[in-house]
Amino acid sequence: MEQTEHTETSSAGRMKFIIGGLLIVAAVVYLIISSTQASAQYFLTVDEVYSKGADIQGRELRISGAVIGDSIQYDPQTLNLTFTIANIPGDNKEIEAQGGLVAVLHAAVMDPNRQKLVVLYNGPKPDLLRNEAQAIITGKMGADGVFQAEELLLKCPTKYEDAVPDQAE
Partner 1 sequence: MVADFSFGALVIAFLIAVYGIVAAIYGARNGKTEWVESARLAMLLTFPLITISALGLMFLLVTGRYEVEYVAQVTSNSMPYYLRVTALWGGQSGSLLFWAWLMSAFASAVTLRKWDRDREFLPWVIAVSLFTLAFFLFLIVIFENPFSRIWRMPGGEFQVTMFQPAGAVLASMRDGQGLNPLLRHPGMIIHPPMLYLGFVAFVVPYAFAIAALITGRTDDRWIRITRRWTLVAWLFLSLGLLLGGRWAYDVLGWGGYWGWDPVEISAFMPWLTGTAFLHSVMIQEKRGLFKHWNMALIILTYALVIFGTFLTRSGVLSSVHAFAQSAIGPLFFGFIGLTFSISMYLLLRRWDSLKSEGQMTSVLSREALFLLNNLLFMGILIVCFWGVIFPLVSELVSGQKVTVGPPFYERATAPLFAGLLFLMGIAPLSAWRLSTARTLGRLMWKPFIFSLIVGLGLPLLMGIRNWAALIGFFLIAFVSSVTLYEFWRGILARHRSQGENYFIALRNMTERNRRRYGGYIIHLGVVLMAIGIIGIELFQKETQATIPQGGTVTMSGYTLTYQSLAIFDTTDGRNVARAVLSVEKDGKKIGELYPRRDFFLESQQPMTIPGVRSTWEDDLYVILVDWLPVSSQGASFKVYLNPLVNWLWLGGLVFILGTLIAAWPDKDPEYEQARLRRRVYQADLKRRNAEA
4 binds partner 1 (CB under 8 A): no
Q: Report how far residue 72's alpha carbon sits from residue 61's, in angstroms, rounded to the nearest whole number.
A: 21
C-alpha span between 83 and 81 (Å, rounded) = 7
Instruction: Give the H/E segment covering residue 107.
Output: helix 101-110
Cβ distance to partner 1 smaller for residue 113 or 167: 167
CA distance 79 to 125: 8
Q: Is 2 in the site for partner 1 (CB under 8 A)?
A: no
- Sign, CA dihedral 50-53-57-60, equals negative
| d(C-alpha 99, C-alpha 108), whole Å | 13
Shortest distance in whole angstroms from residue 14 CB to partner 1: 8
Q: Which of residues 3, 4, 7, 92 is near partner 1 by CB under 8 A? A: 92
Q: Name the segment binding partner 1 (CB under 8 A); options: 14-22, 65-73, 112-120, 129-137.
A: 14-22
| Contacts of partner 1 in 126-145 (CB under 8 A) | 127
Can residue 58 be called a binding residue for partner 1 (CB under 8 A)? Answer: no
SS3 164: coil
Which residues form the interface with partner 1 (CB under 8 A)?
A: 9-10, 13-14, 16-17, 20-21, 24-25, 27-28, 31-32, 34-36, 38-43, 62, 76-79, 90, 92-93, 123-125, 127, 158, 160, 163-169
